[in-house]
Amino acid sequence: MIKKTDAIYAAPLQEMIDFKFDERVVAVFPDMIQRSVPGYGMIISNIGILAAKYAQAGSHCYDLGCSLGAATLSMRQRIKEPECDIIAVDNSPAMLERGRELLARDAAAAVPVTMICADIQEVPIENASVVVLNFTLQFIPPAQRPELIERIYAGLRPGGILILSEKIAFSEPARQHFHQELHHDFKRANGYSDLEISQKRSALENVMIPETLACHQERLKSAGFSSVEVWFQCFNFASMVAIK
């Protein structure tokens, strides 16, 4: 398959429709996420490194909101513990269908993967050593986030980790402006026009709700996680590791 460039928001739109992970997004997703999220490739590689360190023998590793399975493939390549498997979940049928093709194409590894088309809020989390929420929590309505984080905590073994990557917000307007402008400069440098940037921003407004780092850290701590470490940040994108 030819690599398709994201031009979804390139032409002026008559009406703004909320952003959706449909066939059009799936077809350009690797290009879209790479050009939109600073450090995405580095985050994916390091999810494999973290999973290799924290995966426990005989446990499950979860990739919640797996999209095309980039984090799953990275973990599958690195995990060396015996009797581990990966459960990858996404509720977009189009994403999962393409994700399954990519998974089948990837060289077979010792770690089995099950891809499930389901809402991550309804999937049981049990006997887990590694749980990944790589830019997924931001799409869950804020009021429902504490329950999901608490369920993940309950399903983790002691010493297990949650890797949480998110677009973040800043409570001080000047800092919000600073990081948002730099993110837009990053997108412009990757070939997006001002129109594409602003149309996508409007489409995401009701769907993707970033919170501050402090808000994430407090929620993780109140769920019971013993430590929360920010291991990556570039502009308004960050990734944390929370250890049970």
Residue numbers in the known binding site for S-adenosyl-L-methionine are 40, 65-67, 90-91, 119-120, 134, 201
Best CA proximity match to 64, nearest among 102, 129, 117:
117
With binding defined as CB under 6 A, does residue 70 bind ligand GEK?
yes
With binding defined as CB under 6 A, does residue 21 bind ligand GEK?
yes
The single-letter DSSP state of residue 131 is E
Binding mask 75-114 for ligand GEK (x = CB under 6 A): --------------xxxx--x-------------------
Position 133, amino acid? L
The pair of three-digit structure tokens given for residue 195, joined into one six-digit string? 């129109």
With binding defined as CB under 6 A, does residue 136 bind ligand GEK?
yes
- Judged by beta carbon, residue 37 or residue 163, the one nearer ligand PPY is 37
Residue pair 5/28 in contact by the 8 Å Cβ criterion: yes
The single-letter DSSP state of residue 175 is H
Q: What whole-number distance in Å separates Cα of residue 203 and Cα of residue 206?
A: 7
Question: Whole-number minimum distance, CB 82 to ligand GEK, in Å?
Answer: 25
110 Cβ partners below 8 Å, 6+ apart? none
With binding defined as CB under 6 A, does residue 45 bind ligand GEK?
no
Residue pair 207/139 in contact by the 8 Å Cβ criterion: yes
Question: Whole-number minimum distance, CB 244 to ligand GEK, in Å?
Answer: 21
With binding defined as CB under 6 A, does residue 71 bind ligand GEK?
yes
Question: Whole-number minimum distance, CB 174 to ligand GEK, in Å?
Answer: 25
With binding defined as CB under 6 A, does residue 134 bind ligand GEK?
yes
The single-letter DSSP state of residue 209 is -
Residues that bind ligand PPY (CB under 6 A): 32-33, 36-37, 167, 200, 204, 208
70 binds, among ligand GEK, ligand PPY, none (CB under 5 to 8 A by kind): ligand GEK
The single-letter DSSP state of residue 241 is E
**Coil vs helix vs strand at 124:** coil
Pairing relationship of beta strands 85-90 and 113-117 according to DSSP bridges: parallel
Best CA proximity match to 9, nearest among 36, 34, 30, 43:
36
166 binds, among ligand PPY, ligand GEK, none (CB under 5 to 8 A by kind): none
Positions that interact with ligand GEK (CB under 6 A): 21, 33, 65-67, 70-71, 89-92, 95, 119-121, 134-136, 139-140
